Amino acid sequence: MRMVDLIAKKRDGKELTTEEINFFIGGYTKGEIPDYQVSAMGMAIFFKDMTDRERADLTMAMVNSGETIDLSAIEGIKVDKHSTGGVGDTTTLVLAPLVAALDIPVAKMSGRGLGHTGGTIDKLESIEGFHVEISKDEFVNLVNKHKIAVIGQTGNLTPADKKLYALRDVTATVDSIPLIASSIMSKKIAAGSDAIVLDVKTGAGAFMKTVEDARELAHAMVSIGNNVGRKTMAVISDMSQPLGVAIGNSLEVQEAIDTLRGEGPKDLEELCLALGRQMVFLANKAESLEEAEEKLKEVMRNGKALEKFKEFIANQGGDASVVDNPEKLPQAKYKIDLPALEDGMVAELVADEIGTAAMLLGAGRATKESEIDLAVGLMLNKKIGDTVKKGDSLVTIHANRENVDDVKEKLYANIRISDHAEAPVLVHDIVTE
């Protein structure tokens, strides 16, 4: 088999066989096929697309390019949740204990964040003593006994995706549905869960700027998952403005605690319930999505979800008393309000730019090596559709430096006040096949 023939075949819009896809991904992973040929193939795929079968084969070829995680020692149906990225997205911190409180195993492998704010691990590490450096055996035991554990990324998962993603980044082939869908799904499948719930974001803070594009990506990923034997569902949700009110590591832990108590921001609660009910349903713990949602609300009301969060923190060496004494979380030295300059309604809160403002304070990493400041971030006092009077605080800036003029400028440039505005629809669609 020759790579040049496969490139020509795809260039002419024909369908690649399973063997051909395995040859291309296998050869690329081993360094036998050079970047320039794979670049040409990426561009051919970008223009000619792939069939559902090719997409599933590409995904599995990337899964098989490296190690995979075996979760079979964990009892029950393991359901993973994945979000396609967002700003101030606190859903994982809420969903993990919420779902575990219903005896659904949450075996989470997580990474550190790059960009806007930290990843789930960074957020959890704002709790004194909490750590994710646990052995594989300890991880499995914790999930079997307590239904919840988080471990740091281990092993060489999907090396083909790492190489291909880096190449796509410099050859203008990132924005291709078959390539994005197979990239994301390969990582989820390699991580070993039985079922997957996807949160596909749309809007300014997301990869997919329109609902139509997000729907197409969601269908592509759900189809790949179902074709390779992992039950998969997707929610399409709004990321035109940040989710919830907190952006920043310890601020989001606090927000998650409030939400588990049923006292969190309404949009965050709504999305957690929309994703959570699919997780409960896929785990076979409810007959219908409605019943699943009822069960989730029940553990929020009766305190079991919050108890599960405490148990989880203590199991991994953390100080669980932060749940009742949130002032023990890292606190920023300065809290500075951003006053509205006019009367009106909030019409825009550009998600990715607001995320960048939080990064300027030190809440996220510019490079993999950067240190992050767990205490700093932003609290949104107004969201799209809210009425404001001149002088009202739009945002409270939690900073460890006194002068935050750069942050204020960024925020003013990305918060638009107008005569009339309506809150955006949060959940646009549910995709099941």
249 binds, among ligand URA, Ca ion, none (CB under 5 to 8 A by kind): none
Q: Is 246 in the site for Ca ion (CB under 5 A)?
A: yes
Q: Is 244 in the site for Ca ion (CB under 5 A)?
A: yes
Q: Under a CB-based contact definition with an 8 Å cutoff, are residues 116 and 310 in contact?
A: no
Output 221 or 296, the one with its CB closest to ligand URA.
Answer: 221
Which residue's entry shows tokens 């561009």? 43
Output 85 or 244, the one with its CB closest to Ca ion.
Answer: 244
Output 92 or 183, the one with its CB closest to ligand URA.
Answer: 183
Please report how close the Cβ of residue 317 comes to Ca ion at its closest, in angstroms: 25
Please report how close the Cβ of residue 42 comes to ligand URA at its closest, in angstroms: 11
| 405 classed as catalytic | no
Catalytic residue among 10, 78, 82, 123: 82
Catalytic residue among 187, 201, 365, 428: 187
| 193 classed as catalytic | no
C-beta contacts of 225-231 below 8 A and 24+ residues apart: 225/185, 225/188, 225/189, 225/196, 226/433, 227/52, 227/53, 227/55, 227/56, 228/56, 228/59, 228/60, 228/185, 228/189, 230/188, 230/189, 230/193, 230/194, 230/195, 230/196, 231/194, 231/195, 231/196, 231/282
246 binds, among ligand URA, Ca ion, none (CB under 5 to 8 A by kind): Ca ion
312 binds, among ligand URA, Ca ion, none (CB under 5 to 8 A by kind): none
C-beta contacts of 33-37 below 8 A and 24+ residues apart: 33/3, 35/167, 37/3, 37/4, 37/7
Q: Which tokens go with 195?
A: 């079922």
| 82 classed as catalytic | yes
**Spatial distance between the Cα atoms of 80 and 109, rounded to a whole number of angstroms:** 10
88 binds, among ligand URA, Ca ion, none (CB under 5 to 8 A by kind): Ca ion
395 binds, among Ca ion, ligand URA, none (CB under 5 to 8 A by kind): none
Tell me the residue nearest to Ca ion as measured from the CB: 244
List residues near ligand URA by CB under 6 A.
165, 174, 179-180, 183-184, 207
Output 29 or 117, the one with its CB closest to Ca ion.
Answer: 117
Interface size with Ca ion, residues (CB under 5 A): 4
**Spatial distance between the Cα atoms of 294 and 274, rounded to a whole number of angstroms:** 11
Q: Under a CB-based contact definition with an 8 Å cutoff, are residues 205 and 352 in contact?
A: yes
| 135 classed as catalytic | no
**Spatial distance between the Cα atoms of 78 and 337, rounded to a whole number of angstroms:** 43
Please report how close the Cβ of residue 260 comes to ligand URA at its closest, in angstroms: 28
**Spatial distance between the Cα atoms of 280 and 103, rounded to a whole number of angstroms:** 10
Q: Which tokens go with 173?
A: 């082939």
Among 88, 97, 113, 330, the residue binding Ca ion under the rule CB under 5 A is 88
Question: DSSP letter string over 29-91?
Answer: HHT-S-HHHHHHHHHHHHHH---HHHHHHHHHHHHTTSB----TTS-S--EEEEE---SS--H
**Spatial distance between the Cα atoms of 237 and 223, rounded to a whole number of angstroms:** 19
Question: DSSP letter string over 252-274?
Answer: HHHHHHHHHTT-S-HHHHHHHHH
223 binds, among ligand URA, Ca ion, none (CB under 5 to 8 A by kind): none
Among 29, 59, 64, 90, the residue binding Ca ion under the rule CB under 5 A is 90
Candidates 3-11, 244-252, 308-316, 421-429 — which segment interacts with Ca ion by CB under 5 A?
Answer: 244-252
Output 58 or 151, the one with its CB closest to ligand URA.
Answer: 58
Please report how close the Cβ of residue 268 comes to Ca ion at its closest, in angstroms: 6
| 183 classed as catalytic | yes
165 binds, among Ca ion, ligand URA, none (CB under 5 to 8 A by kind): ligand URA
Instruction: Report, as residue numbers or ranges, the catalytic residues.
Output: 82, 161, 168, 183, 187
By the criterion CB under 5 A, which residues form the site for Ca ion? Answer: 88, 90, 244, 246
